[in-house]
Amino acid sequence: MFWVQLGQDSDDLVLLDTMNRPLILYNLRKRFQKEQIYTRIGTILISINPYKMLPLYTPSVIEDYIKRGKRKLPPHVFEIADQAFNYLREHELGQSIVISGESGAGKTECTKQCLQYIAEIAGSSANNVEQRILLSNPILEAFGNAKTVRNNNSSFWKIYGNLL
């Protein structure tokens, strides 16, 4: 195992030689400046919203993560979705992906990317699996995005408010 020295950045914060707030923030800032918005901390994925479109979710990137095998690729939400799907398939045990963050952090977008990836690897050509998975997104948003003290832009009301 190698350790990361001060001044270097790492795609896994577990490899930092010292674990403290300034070094973590320094590392995240350096990666963000290089448009590397995903960083691991062990099995957890940290994502920083770039507030702009990046070429991170193209069909070729999906293909890279599907075919990665034992190759180490940069941290990505597709990696998390792939691990959950493979564990589900191998062990036949339900899996959860916890996506949390402040309002506007990109939780809904992250959920969409996970669903897109799972739909792709689930073999969407048979029985419209992809369409059925992606149609579940508004329901998931309704559960996950409620009005809070800090946020009055509930996705539930955006989706269903005009129907009530």
Is pTM, for the whole model, over 0.85?
no
Three-state secondary structure call for residue 33: helix
| Banded model confidence at residue 161, pLDDT cuts 50, 70, 90 | very low
Do residues 45 and 82 lie in contact, with contact meaning Cβ atoms separated by under 8 Å? no
Q: Looking at residue 69, what is its pLDDT?
A: 84
Centre a 10 Å sphere on the Cβ of residue 10 and count the other Cβ atoms it contains: 20
Q: Which CATH superfamily is domain 62-163 in?
A: Kinesin motor domain (3.40.850.10)
Q: Which long-range contacts (CB under 8 A, 24 or more apart) does 83-87 make?
A: 84/118, 85/117, 85/118, 85/121, 85/122
Three-state secondary structure call for residue 41: strand
Q: What angle do CA 76, 103, 116 make, to 5 degrees?
A: 35
Rounded mean pLDDT of 117-137? 71
Three-state secondary structure call for residue 28: helix
| Banded model confidence at residue 11, pLDDT cuts 50, 70, 90 | very high
pLDDT in tens, 65-105: 999 988 899 999 999 999 999 899 899 888 888 888 887 77
Q: Looking at residue 147, what is its pLDDT?
A: 54
In whole angstroms, what is the distance from residue 71 CA to residue 153 CA?
Answer: 41
Mean pLDDT of the residues in the chain? 80
**Looking at residue 14, what DSSP letter applies?**
G
Q: Looking at residue 164, what is its pLDDT?
A: 44
CATH 3.40.850.10 location in the chain = 62-163
| Banded model confidence at residue 28, pLDDT cuts 50, 70, 90 | very high
pLDDT at 30 over 80: yes
Q: Looking at residue 136, what is its pLDDT?
A: 67
Residue 37 gets the label, from left (phi > 0), alpha (psi -120 to 50) or beta, of alpha
Tokens at 62, concatenated: 């999906």
Rounded mean pLDDT of 40-59? 91
In whole angstroms, what is the distance from residue 151 CA to residue 10 CA?
Answer: 33
Distances (CA, A) of 96 to 82, 111, 115, 124: 12, 12, 12, 21
